[in-house]
Amino acid sequence: MAGTKKSMETKGHHWTRSSVPEIPVLIFLILFGIRGLEIAQADDGAAVINEANVRGHVRFLADDLLEGRGPGSRGDELTQLYIASQFETLGLQPAAGEGKWLQPFPLVGVRTIAPPNVVFKQNDNAVSLKSVEDFMSTIGKPAETAQLQDAELVFVGYGIEAPEYSWDDYKDVDLTGKVLLMMNNDPASDPDLFEGRRRLYYGRWDYKYEIAARKGAAGAIIIHTTPSAGYPWQVIQTSWSGEEFELLGNEGKRLELKGWGSEQGLRDVVAMGGFNLDKLRAQAESKEFRPIPLGISLSIQLEGVVREQNTANVLGLLPGSDPDLRDEVVIYMAHHDHLGMGVERDLRGDNIYNGAVDNATGVAALLTMAKAYSQMDPPPKRSILFAAVGAEEQGLLGSEFFAENPTLKPGKMAAVINMDGTNIIGRTHDVNVIGYGKSNLDAIVEAVAKSQKRIVTPDHFPDRGYYYRSDQFSLAKIGVPGVYLHSGIEVVGKPAGWGKQQLDEWVEKIYHQPSDEYSQDWNLSGAIQDTRLLYEVGRRIANQADLPAWTQGDEFEAARKRAIDSATDAN
Ligand SMILES: [Zn+2]
């Protein structure tokens, strides 16, 4: 568009912040009508979604000075301040209530001091597993001590209770005070059961510990295998050796011990009781499975360093332009936290978990998105909420707190677009949609992808349960459909397979390691492509007549209906 000029005034209409001088606008209207104008304005917004904007934000957020943005740390406070001040410069409104940008929430963290060895006994026999090398222990509650005394080990297979699949690994067995030995993931062999290879929430480690506590168990140990976890034992070692946070005031039954054991280590343990781990796991594939007491006991004493912390979500709002639709909101979300500083240093002597890709890039995309929307004139019909949430690495805690303490009614939340890690390997022919098939948002993503001459692909690794591993899951639980992309793998100009190889190497070598650092060599053209796609997807949701909906029969459809009903009743 020729001739841009800022802030022009005409009576009755506020053409503020429009960059289109009058004469060309008229020609445009004649040539392309309102649609053309919308595209022009969208293009204006999209133009600011560029590498310079994204790189600038990542460079700051991923710097060593931010010390890995651990919850409650100085780096965390600097991050919150940075995001709030950016929102302010863009003219957004503080959206945390009472004119505030920050929605603080209290966390309690516990750092577990585990014994060097964990000893399993059976009569006079014993198998000792080395801590960290073969066993990770975490206190299951925010307390200074926890202990098990001769607690019996019971194998419970997948440990799932799913009435909708008439599946119950517990039957009517009383497991009070026991230590449950559990398989990770959910049954994958039958496409009609647990959606086949796709990992459902039942297959997540958090579900395993939650249900073990609900069953009154004293402890739970998950058997680690790389296929069933979706990442190697090394990630268990790093992710579970730090401080474990949870939202303060979390009621309900608690475990004394949350444990992970290496496959070989636990194979030796059950062998002591005369069991074969593979045979046990084969039994667990059947609906007839019942818990198997192993005749092995565990005694352990754990010390904990408990710390209460405060962190916060940062919320900024762009009010919508349509009087009827502006009380409904499209949410852009990205977590601003990462793992902070580790106790141990890596081989390069580095202990700062910079979290450059995870998730400085997502926050950078969020801020750049906000800049694009702040230049849209008029603003979209529905309002846009930009939510930088905290403590995601600790179990999606910031988005969970937001979902439990929403600043607007869940039934007024049109959709959430979550950005957790952007593409750093270049433009792609494909757009990878996590949770593809769960809602009618897919159609919008497909239409916009098509306008970029790209194709939509479903989750490449449905068995890794990525849908439940980022913040859109917290909003799904209160009924809000979401869009969550992963980097495409068909990279423009690269041979087939190259993209997947890059991603696998990244998960293997960099994911949740101090080496997740910013590099000038990153190719961000793919990130810009994806961010512009999400910008246009959000704009269409914000301007369409109806609220997005879950696919019929989806696990979150009922929650949506409840949310919309209660929002309507309240009107
Ligand atoms: Zn992340």
Q: Does 214 score more than 60 pLDDT?
A: yes
- The β-bridge relationship of strands 257-262 and 135-139 is antiparallel
Contact indicator for 145, 112 with CB cutoff of 8 Å: no
Write out the H or E segment, with its range, that includes residue 81: helix 74-89
**pLDDT band per the 50, 70, 90 thresholds, residue 25:** low
Contact indicator for 69, 60 with CB cutoff of 8 Å: no
DSSP state of 379: P
Query: What separation in Å is there between the alpha carbon of 14 and the centre of ligand 1?
Result: 40
Query: What separation in Å is there between the alpha carbon of 362 and the centre of ligand 1?
Result: 8
Query: What separation in Å is there between the alpha carbon of 518 and the centre of ligand 1?
Result: 15
Query: What separation in Å is there between the alpha carbon of 203 and the centre of ligand 1?
Result: 19
- Mind listing the domains of the chain with CATH numbers? 47-109+307-486+533-570 (3.40.630.10), 111-305 (3.50.30)
The encoded tokens of residue 477 equal 């639980």
CA distance 81 to 253: 36
pLDDT for the residue 16:
39
Q: Does 15 score more than 60 pLDDT?
A: no
Query: What separation in Å is there between the alpha carbon of 136 and the centre of ligand 1?
Result: 22
Query: What separation in Å is there between the alpha carbon of 63 and the centre of ligand 1?
Result: 17
Query: What separation in Å is there between the alpha carbon of 553 and the centre of ligand 1?
Result: 29
Tallying the residues shown for the chain, one arrives at 571
Provide the percentage of residues in the chain whose pLDDT is more than 90. Answer: 78
Query: What separation in Å is there between the alpha carbon of 392 and the centre of ligand 1?
Result: 7
pLDDT for the residue 139:
95
Query: What separation in Å is there between the alpha carbon of 226 and the centre of ligand 1?
Result: 19
CA distance 154 to 212: 11
pLDDT for the residue 253:
86
The encoded tokens of residue 473 equal 């899951």
pLDDT for the residue 168:
97
Q: Does 1 score more than 90 pLDDT?
A: no
For 263-284, the pLDDT digits (tens) are 999 999 999 999 999 999 999 9
Coil, strand or helix: which one is 456?
strand
CA distance 458 to 460: 6
Query: What separation in Å is there between the alpha carbon of 540 and the centre of ligand 1?
Result: 26
Query: What separation in Å is there between the alpha carbon of 34 and the centre of ligand 1?
Result: 39
For 349-390, the pLDDT digits (tens) are 999 999 999 999 999 999 999 999 999 989 999 999 999 999
Q: Does 33 score more than 80 pLDDT?
A: no
- Sign of the C-alpha dihedral, residues 18, 24, 29, 35? negative
pLDDT for the residue 428:
97
The Cα-based distances of 530 to 56, 397, 454, 561 in angstroms read 18, 26, 11, 30
For 252-265, the pLDDT digits (tens) are 889 999 999 999 99
pLDDT for the residue 51:
96
- Using the structure block, give the residue that is written with the tokens 């979500």: 313
Provide the percentage of residues in the chain whose pLDDT is more than 70. Answer: 92
Q: Does 34 score more than 70 pLDDT?
A: no
Query: What separation in Å is there between the alpha carbon of 339 and the centre of ligand 1?
Result: 10
Query: What separation in Å is there between the alpha carbon of 366 and the centre of ligand 1?
Result: 14
Q: Does 422 score more than 80 pLDDT?
A: yes
Q: Does 457 score more than 70 pLDDT?
A: yes
**pLDDT band per the 50, 70, 90 thresholds, residue 195:** confident
**pLDDT band per the 50, 70, 90 thresholds, residue 316:** very high
Query: What separation in Å is there between the alpha carbon of 337 and the centre of ligand 1?
Result: 8
For 156-173, the pLDDT digits (tens) are 999 999 998 999 999 999
pLDDT for the residue 40:
55
CA distance 81 to 74: 11
pLDDT for the residue 24:
55
Q: What's the mean pLDDT in 103-119?
A: 95
Amino acid at 257: L
